[in-house]
Chains A and B, each alone.
Chain A
Amino acid sequence: MSVLIYVELDNGSIKKTSLEAVAYGAKVAEKTGGQAVVLALGKADNAELEKAGQYGAAKVLHAADAKLEHENSLAYADALVQAAAQEGSKIIILSKSGLGDAMAARAAAKLKAGIVSGVTALPETDGGFKVTRSIFTGKAFATTEIKSDIKVLVVRKNAVEIDEATLSGGNAAVEAFQPALRDSDFTASVVSVEKADSELSLTEAEIIVSGGRGMKGPEHWQPLIDLAKALGAATGCSKPVSDLDWRPHHEHIGQTGIKVAPNLYIACGISGAIQHLAGVNGSKCIVVINKDPEAPFFKAADYGIVGDVFEILPKLTEAAKSLK
């Protein structure tokens, strides 16, 4: 019995969150006695796909059909179900994202499988298959038993610890895979795609520097961007900032925006409303810079500096530059 893991590609590279899903799937395979098989859809080099082996995959199924080049959750879900049938997979794993959830949902309905999204740790397999997941936007966790024969898991970032030093170094064999594509999955036409190519994606970023109303206006963002650059970080913002159009909507982090779980989250001029905290409470380390010592965000922070962000940010940028 195999474990099937879907990996998302970004310009031909496997996304970091997906490599984590591979490592997670390999551990599940080890526990349940089977092998980890990876599915990749769209253009990618074999050399890139083989990398999944270092994270524990035994082989990679690769469907390079040109029709799968553009992200299409309907066709992707069909391909995922066909791959699961070919491999006899009873456990299917995806990484948490809009695409991951959409594919997982459609595949679960096709397979009449139990689905749990937002999984935060490896499953317990003694006496039933139990997983823990994040609920109430990180304010709590739930342990759930999956009873169905086939199980679909959508895993969050940091659900499994990866030690880059102990990666096996083995490469996975890549096999061509040709799913039967249905016209009914291609009824929508893509009118346009807008993607900020140069920007680091927030859900993938290990470090995020984020600004709130304390940044006083879009024209004052440069010091924050400078620090982000020096740290190799992505930039985010609070809801008021995106509501005021100071920053684009896709940077909005919080309960009704993007939920992030970086290693380091640096909040500049964000007071820390409960809705914002809900979007960042998966972060490993939180730094808060605010001129108000009473800002509620300090209660959720690991490190805090009370002061003027415009004086503090350049100092941090300097120190970060001298780090390298």
Chain B
Amino acid sequence: MKILVCITNVPDTTAKISFTDNDTKLNKNGVQFIIGPYDDYALARGVELKEQSGGNLTVLHVGEADAEPQIRKALAIGADDAIRVNADPQDSYFVAAQIAHIASQNSYDLILMGRESIDYNSGVVHGLVGEMLGIPSYSPVMKLDLEGTNATITREIDGGKEVLKAPLPLVLGCQEPIAEWKIPNMRGIMTARTKPLNVVEPVSVDDMTVPQTYQLPAPKGACKMIPASEAETLIKLLQTEAKVL
């Protein structure tokens, strides 16, 4: 069993977002970076499946060197080795092309990642990678079990869920409750220091989309408070003032 888990390096969910350089770059000052929360679920399930079936788990990140603490954390959680594609990716297509290139050189049975990154929220990299490799992709996956060369997947659909049985290899976008997040233990942290982290250069990809500028939303007006004793007047205000009823 060969598993590839792709992780993003993103601002913590509580981070205050601002931009610099005339609104062309994220202001990283004072921002704590983490493994994408959805990717963390994918990693946790990947490690469990590797431990059950034996095999190898590689963690892959497409990005710059400042992500290395997060990559080491993934190694401490249980990945055997890591690859970092040394690039400052501009869009999903570029990231997917790098993942597909690495995957085409190694035959992975499973390629796992989060359902979306929490910075750009596109949720399209798993689909792009699947198509580039010519294998199926499914998302968002809430449960994943393996039986020989078949996977049983529970996927969230609009207003419910669906259970699929599909042959490997597969690309899956994951979300909770696929596994509990894992916290690295001391032994993991020690061994992670000596596990291989290979840095490779990106393959060239045509510019599909180019980010121009970033903007923050307009500030919200003041909240209109209604006394609890007159709660019912809210409905009238929603109808006549806010015009949403």
Contacts and interface: CB of A to CB of B under 8 A. Distances in A.
Q: Is this pair of chains taken from one and the same complex? A: yes
Interface of A: 10, 71, 73-74, 77, 97-99, 101-106, 108-110, 112-118, 130, 132, 134-148, 154, 184-185, 187-196, 199, 201-203, 207, 231, 249-250, 255-256, 259, 263-264, 274-275, 278, 281, 284-285, 287-288, 298-308, 311-312, 315-316, 318-320, 323
12 contacts: A102-B139, A105-B125, A117-B121, A134-B121, A138-B217, A144-B210, A201-B158, A264-B238, A302-B220, A303-B223, A303-B237, A305-B231
Given A105-B125, A142-B212, 7 more contacts: A98-B139, A109-B130, A139-B216, A140-B17, A146-B208, A191-B163, A319-B235
A140 B164 contact: no
Contact of B160 (A74, A113, A194): A194
B22 interface: no
A316 B226 CA distance: 12
B228 A108 contact: no
B131 interface: yes
Contacts of A103: 127
Contacts of A250: 156, 159-161
Question: Nearest 9 CB-CB pairs, A to B?
Answer: A105-B127, A307-B228, A114-B208, A109-B131, A195-B160, A188-B166, A105-B124, A319-B235, A319-B232
B212 A145 contact: yes
B223 A109 contact: no
B160 A196 contact: yes
A256 B39 CA distance: 11
Interface in B87-103: 91-93, 96
B162 A193 contact: yes
B215 interface: yes
B95 to A, nearest CB: 12
A158 to B, nearest CB: 12
Nearest to B163: A191
Interface residues of B, number: 81
Given A138-B217, A187-B167, A106 B131 contact: yes
Given A189-B165, A278-B13, A316-B232, A105 B131 contact: yes
Contacts of B118: 136-137, 255-256
Contacts of A287: 234, 238
Among A103, A144, A193, A249, the most chain B Cβ lie within 10 Å of the Cβ of A144
Please report whether the interface of chain B is mostly helix, strand, loop or mixed according to DSSP: mixed
Interface of B: 11, 13-14, 17, 19, 37-38, 91-93, 96, 118-128, 130-132, 134, 136-140, 142, 152-153, 156-167, 175-177, 206-217, 220-221, 223-228, 231-239, 242, 244-245
A142 B213 contact: yes
Please report whether the interface of chain A is mostly helix, strand, loop or mixed according to DSSP: mixed
B158 to A, nearest CB: 5
B215 A143 contact: yes
A102 B131 CA distance: 10
Contacts of B212: 130, 142-145
B209 A147 contact: yes
A274 B13 CA distance: 8
Contacts of A184: 134
